[in-house]
Each structure stands twice: as structure tokens, then as C-alpha cells.
Structure 1
Amino acid sequence: MDSVKQPPRPDGADAPATPPDFEAALLSLRGHRLRPELHLEEVPAPTRIAPYALALTGEVNRTRDPDDLLGSGRFVVLYDPDGQDAWNGEFRAIIMGRARMEPEVAQDPLLGEVGWAWLTDALAQCDAEYHSLSGTVTRVLSETFGGLELRGGEVEIEVRASWTPGTTDLGPHLRAWALLLSQVSGLPPIPDNVSPMSRRR
């Protein structure tokens, strides 16, 4: 994954250089080989929560045709050299993953617990060091109307969470988010002895 650019610098001609810890964190996000169905893009990061930030969006799509979109999500890294009490640290990872679900699956009363287990299992599987984890799993019902007539509906699952990484190595956290997106989107797991390969154009 080569979409992470150079670390942003604060505004101003005399602005200090990017803090070494944040630069190390950004470098740790580069070069990861993720599933070919997952397409990442760097987008403008939030600027009011922390002095330094990075944001990526992800789409799970086998063909890149919008009609074939299986799921989507967001991965945000915040860094405050002074730390924030709510984070219990200097870094904070914020993620979201969303995908459509079959109506019968969406009616499962344990869906929330399953969605949360996907996240915690992904963090454990990727050996991501973290603490202060919190979040929500939401079922979203969207109904489409034409005039007064109900034309159709769809159900989505949405997992939102944030946690404080234990080190500046954020690679495992990126891979855990990618794994969560794959699971939410219904992709089959990749066998342990098979490496994901990027498609060539």
C-alpha cells in the first residue's frame, strides 16, 4: 500500500518539522500487501481533533464497478505530542467499516456481538498492540419510497471503533482494519499459506 504521502506539516513558514513519532507511524503504514479486492485512497484528515492526522478510505470491490461495491470504510490516525486524557496516550486510531447484509442475517439478535468480535479478533490476529478500545455496532435500515409507495429496502451493518495504539508501528492496526472490512463485506478468508497479490492493470 503506497498511498500514504509525506507527513503533513503545520501551517506557517517557521513551522517545526514533523514529530519523529508521527513520521515513524506514517512510514509504518507504507508497503503493505492487502487483498486485491480492497482499494485504499488517502483523503483529507480531520484538523480540529489533533495537531497531526492521516485519513484513508477503503472500498471492497472485486471489479471497481460501483454496482459491485461490497463494503466501505475509513481509517484515521490522530497524533497529539502532548497526549489527550481521553486517549490515555498520544495516538488514536479511529475506524469505520460498513456493508450491506442479507435481511435474514441482519435480523440475528447477536449481530452486534458478532460484528464486535470481528474487530477484536482482527486486532488479535494481526498482533496489534492497543488499549482504551471503545465503539459501536449498528444495524442501519434504509427504505426507498416513490411517492407513498415503498419500493425497496436494504440493511447495513456498521462498525465504528477507536483505540490507542501501544507503539508507533501502526501496520498491524491497518491490517486489522483491512481484515475487518473483508469480514464485514463477506469475503472468504485467505488461507494461511496464501499471500494476497495485487492485480496488475
Structure 2
Amino acid sequence: MNAIAQVPADFLTALGALRQGQCRPEMRLAEIPAPARLAPFSVALGAEVVAVPHPPLHAVTSHQPLHLPAASVVVGEPELATGRFILLHDPAGSSVWDGTFRIVTYIRAQLEPELGNDEMLGSVAWTWLVDALENHGAPYREAGGTATRILSESYGTLAGRADSIDIELRASWTPDGADVQSHLEAWSDMVCTFAGLPPLPDGVSALPRRRRS
């Protein structure tokens, strides 16, 4: 029996849905190693958002493991945000997930220093996640996450570096079934929102882009 024959049909359906995902051209998206201990089946994508758009990424041929080749790296392009999208599947289901699938995400972006002390920053970041899922019509339940502000200060031989403040969002939710295309697209919009790229939903402001050294 070959490896594909041992993969549950629902997980193959989910992979097919990810192949159809359309992400913004500023985002470099590629498959990365998935965690092996969180679920019997998993797939992971890593993303970088850069200021210079690339042509949209298209699906790769069916013999490849997922769908997205790594985009070429152009030296000198400022990185605005990074992220990870992990899809977990346990055919037996999980009472913690309330389902057989779970999406785990991570997004990080650097902020202007004056924004880092905003007490509402964490709740704004969570609102972006909820709004993105709703805007893409991605049904979900059991969502949870944490938003963290990170201050980096340099000393000694690195004392010349400017202080920086990053925002990190770690979140997870249970999609309503194997059709996860809208969830990937919602997540890609979240990463671009963290990077400060328009357009944004009415009434939501972009994070200022990080300063260049």
C-alpha cells in the first residue's frame, strides 16, 4: 500500500482546498516542515510579507506534496511580517478541538516604537483575526490565542542598533470541516494586515511599517 493510500480522505480533501488558496503577491508562501507530535496528520506553511510584490503564486503539479513553491528571494527587500499556518488532522477527533481538524497560526511583525505601549494593541490584533475569518466566510469554533509585545534592546557591540518592538499573535481554531481554503486566505490577509498593507476593512487602521535602519 502506497503512502497516499494511507492518508485519510478528509485530509486529502483539506490539502486540495489549500491548493486553491489565493494569497496576495506581497506574500512569499512555501511549505515548511510540519510538527510531528501534535496530530497524526499535519501540514505547515511559512510566509514572509515583503514590500515589493511578486507575481501571484499558483498551484504546483499534483505530484508535489502540497501546492506552493518557495518564491525567489531578492536581497534588499524589507520584510514586513512573518507567519506560519499549520493544519492538524486527527481522524479520531479531539474533545479539546471539538472536531477532527485544528488550525494553528503564528504571526509576527515589527512596530513603530511609539505604538508598542498602546494598551489596546493585543485586542486589536485579535480583532483582525476574527474579522478576517468573518470577511472570508470561514466557519470556525473554539478559537483562542495570545498577543504578545516584545521589546528588543541592544547593548555592547550592538549598542548602535535602534530599539524595536514586535507584536506576536499565536492563535488556533477549529474549522468547520475539510474545506479550509477560506481559512488560509483569511490567515494570509491577517499576515498582510500585520505588515501594514492596505486594503483593510472599514474602520480598521494599519500598523505603521517598521523603520528601516
Q: TM-score, normalised by structure 2?
A: 0.79
CA distance in 1: counterparts of 2:2 and 2:188, whole angstroms: 37
Structure 1 residue runs without a partner (length 5+): 1-11, 192-201
- When structure 1 is superposed on structure 2, of 28-37 and 146-155 the one drifting more is 146-155
The residue type equivalent to 2:186 in the other structure is A
Q: CA 1:13–1:38 in 2, change beyond 3 Å: closer, same or farther?
A: closer
Contact 2:44–2:85 (CA<8 Å) still a contact in 1? yes
Per the alignment, in what secondary structure is the counterpart of residue 29 of structure 1? helix
CA distance in 2: counterparts of 1:181 and 1:59, whole angstroms: 8
Structure 1 match to 2:60:
none
Deviations 1:147-187 (A, max 9, x none): 59574310001111000101211001101110100111100
Q: CA deviation at 1:32?
A: 2.6
Q: Percent identity?
A: 44
Q: CA deviation at 1:107?
A: 1.4
Q: CA deviation at 1:104?
A: 1.3
Paired residues in the alignment total: 180
Structure 1 match to 2:120:
110
Structure 2 match to 1:175:
185
Deviations 1:92-125 (A, max 9, x none): 0001111000111111111011111010000100
Pairing of 1:1-201 with structure 2 (within 5 A): 17-63=6-52, 64-65=74-75, 68-146=78-156, 149=159, 151-189=161-199
Q: CA deviation at 1:62?
A: 2.7
Cα RMSD between the aligned structures?
2.1
Q: TM-score, normalised by structure 1?
A: 0.83
The residue type equivalent to 2:22 in the other structure is R
The residue type equivalent to 2:85 in the other structure is F
